[in-house]
Structure 1
Amino acid sequence: MVFKRRDRRPLWRIVYEFLWPRGGWGRAARYVKHRLHRLPDPPHRIARGIFAGVFTTFTPFYGLHFVVAGFLAWIMRGNLLAALLSTFFGNPLTYVPIGVVSLTTGHFLLGGDKAARHEHGSIIKKFGEAGRDLWQNIKAMFHGTEPDWRDLSIFYDEVFFPYLIGGIIPGLVAGLICYYVSLPLITAYQNRRKGAIKARLAALKKKRGDAGSAD
């Protein structure tokens, strides 16, 4: 294939670069910040998109964060690209604290028994068993066997639903903080950029005027 990598990366390298991209997460954050500042939209629309993206990272819809953020931005009439870029608020360095806060809040709000949460194993185990259940049940559809939804049911009751409910409050808090912080910054950046463009145009006009006078 024409576009196939010549140097196939080993599995450990793929995992490492997912957890720590080239240049580090600091460089990735600066890139996202630069792109957000330069979006051609009013500051309030960009800030709404940022809110939608950050809020989405506190939901358990892993793999669908782009879709959820885009939908929320559309409802809020925010900037779609800002929403997609802001989902990078959730990354391998932040997903653990986000998950812990969301699940803890969810179990607290739902009044769940702390001992019952670990009755069927750790969260990672529940994720794995739910994924295995889903795959086995998809295969069961083609083999005519009876599906078993027990592990998925446990996952929904002890992880997904508490995560969904518990992520609302911290998601709103984080989203609002990012909204109110980003709005004046983007406004100031756009005003400074407009001023710089006007200054360059004025200088160019003056230069052409001087050249015309010389002729």
Structure 2
Amino acid sequence: MPGSPYFVAAGFACGAALSFTPFVGMHIALGCLLAWVIRASLLSAAIGTVVGNPWTFPFIWIWIYELGRWLLDETSGQVAEGLNFSEFFGTFTEAFLRFDLVYVFETAWPVFWPMVVGGIPTAVVVWVAFYFPLKPIVGAYQRRRWIRCMKQQQEARDEKTAEAGRQH
């Protein structure tokens, strides 16, 4: 992937971070938007969103919901174990697309808002957790690739020189 280590690592970190938000179905778009804002790779951002996937979403959603409840100091309300997040997001999306604002604000908002609140600090931590290890890894890979390319070019020049010497 072309670009500086910052460009690639920051893009991936954007995608990974946004997958820790409750904006299901918009992670790629939001990850790419954030990457564009900080001048990072949009492709890396799209790839980074795979951190959020059907195997990790249940854990992510429980974490951000409970963290949001804790940050909002909500002792009342439903605990995460009692929620069916897959059903919640399906119903929430349908209600939102139908402009069923009664459902959105009376039923979904008490669950969605804590997830937003818990998702923001989690996304910041995830961005840092991916960016700082990835940047030197990408840099080392690019250096090794450049050295390998230079060696191949040198070998090709040496071969041409040897051929020219044999012809004379």
TM-score of the superposition, structure 1-length normalised? 0.70
Where 1:41 maps in the other structure, the secondary structure is coil
- 1:168 pairs with 120, 124, 133, which one? 120
Count of residue correspondences:
164
Post-superposition offset of 1:155: 4.1
For 1:148-159, what aligned pairs fall within 5 Å after superposition?
149-159=101-111
Structure 2 residue ranges without an equivalent (≥5): none
2:60 counterpart of 1:98:
yes
Query: How far apart, in 2, do the equivalents of 1:52 and 1:103 lie?
Result: 21
Q: Is the Cα contact below 8 Å between 1:126 and 1:155 reproduced in 2?
A: no
2:37 counterpart of 1:85:
no
Q: Is the Cα contact below 8 Å between 1:123 and 1:159 reproduced in 2?
A: no
Query: How far apart, in 1, do the equivalents of 2:107 and 2:7 lie?
Result: 37
Query: How far apart, in 2, do the equivalents of 1:129 and 1:43 lie?
Result: 41
Where 1:63 maps in the other structure, the secondary structure is coil
Identity of aligned residues (%): 27
1:114-152 per-residue CA deviation (whole Å, 9 max, x = no partner) reads 4x226xx734454454345346x45xxxxxxxxx53321
In structure 2, the partner of 1:107 is 69
- 1:203 pairs with 155, 161, 167, which one? 155
In structure 2, the partner of 1:122 is 83
In structure 2, the partner of 1:193 is 145
Structure of higher RCO (CA pairs closer than 8 Å, 6+ residues apart): 2
2:133 counterpart of 1:181:
yes
TM-score of the superposition, structure 2-length normalised? 0.89
Any runs of at least 4 consecutive aligned residues in structure 1 with deviations exceeding 6 A, and if so which?
none
Q: Which is further off, 95-104 or 157-166?
A: 157-166
Q: Is the Cα contact below 8 Å between 2:24 and 2:89 reproduced in 1?
A: no
1:154-183 per-residue CA deviation (whole Å, 9 max, x = no partner) reads 344322211111011222112211111111
